[in-house]
Amino acid sequence: MGDNVARFQKEFAAYFGMKHAVMTNSGSSANLIAVASLFFKKDRPLQRGDEVIVPAISWSTTYHPLQQYGLKLRFVDVNLETLNIDETKLEEALTPRTRMIIAVSILGNPAPLDVIRDFADRHDLYFMEDNCESMDAEIEGRKTGTFGDLNTFSFFFSHHISTMEGGMVLTDDTELAHLCLALRAHGWTRDLPVGSPLFERRSNDHFEAYRFILPGYNVRPLEISGAIGREQLKKLPAMTEARRRNWAVFHGLFAGDERFIIQRENGKTSCFCFTIVLNPKRNPNRERIFEALRDADIGFRIITGGCFLAHDAIKYFDYTTVGTMENAFTAHELGFFVGNHPYDLTPQIGRLRDVLDRACR
């Protein structure tokens, strides 16, 4: 790391109106150090066995750090129209052991972050926002990735901006920011500014440069990633607008067709893809539809990571569910997405519509 990483951190924080940004080598690593930081807070740290409320659909590394730090997951189903956590079930999910809630805005569509922020404040919960899939989305003019005590982003090559691999943690909490800085780089003090609340600097510089205060990692980004990120950030507003224009075309062609359930926009999307769930009430032939997409050479894949409860890794987790995960399993079994890009895709979206229309007759 060097000057470009430092500048990218400052510019990224400024873009989102936050005080602190800590860049990592991936969004997954950002999730890891963000979760870890809450275990090393001076006041009210998380403890193993504490419960965390999570949505049933997200990428795997939303969940893995929670398991690795001994937290118990409390899964809540998603709203089938938005694919985000069903906020009407939050009170039911709450138990005396609940200490934290994680919100994930799926594929550019903001989760009900304002509702979740209020819920977390009323119940004295830590709120972490995994915004790796929804950079530059908004709710009433406020950017996603700014509602949580900790907020994470990804710069993977298929996401809104790319440093090939890279991630970021945003926070307004100085202690959490400094914890993330130490955890990012071996758990040492070298990257912490003078006056950090985490430790008192001693006089012997020979040993101080190699002073380890936390059980950390090495998830530092490369300097070239910071340089690329600075240029990508300049392009973000225009790329977001291009994606939103494509979203309007997609929505115009698919909205109202009862064969397909598409995302109902909450706030302003920053979609880098278009999601489609085949309506289970129409008894769709999933394999015939998928074969038609393959024959047309239209790339598609599972929505995010699908329902995490459907994956083999769940056997390693301590978890409970709030009722059935009917919507999450429906999206897992009958859902898919195709890519969006920051240029005009009107012909491609029209062709997608034609292929699906024929396959679903």
Active site residues per annotation: 159
> Residues 254-259: contacts with CB within 8 Å, 24+ apart?
254/353, 258/282, 259/284, 259/356, 259/360
307 contacts: CB under 8 Å, gap ≥ 6: 56, 57, 325, 328, 329, 331, 332
- CA of 360: how far to CAs of 105, 123, 277, in Å? 29, 46, 13
Give CA torsion, residues 304, 309, 312, 314, to 10 deg: 110
* Helix and strand counts by DSSP (H, E) for the chain: 11, 13
- CA of 102: how far to CAs of 105, 119, 299, in Å? 10, 12, 30
Nearest to 130 by CA among 175, 173, 84, 99: 84
Q: Which residues are paired to 154 by β-bridges?
A: 167
Residues 242 and 343 sit within 8 Å (Cβ to Cβ): yes
Q: Give the β-pairing of 273-278 and 260-262.
A: antiparallel
Residues 3 and 151 sit within 8 Å (Cβ to Cβ): no
Surface-to-core class of residue 48, CB atoms within 10 Å of its CB (0-12 exposed, 13-18 middle, 19+ buried): exposed
Rounded CA-CA distance 353/254 in Å is 7
Helix (H, G, I), strand (E, B) or coil at 185: strand
Rounded CA-CA distance 360/180 in Å is 49
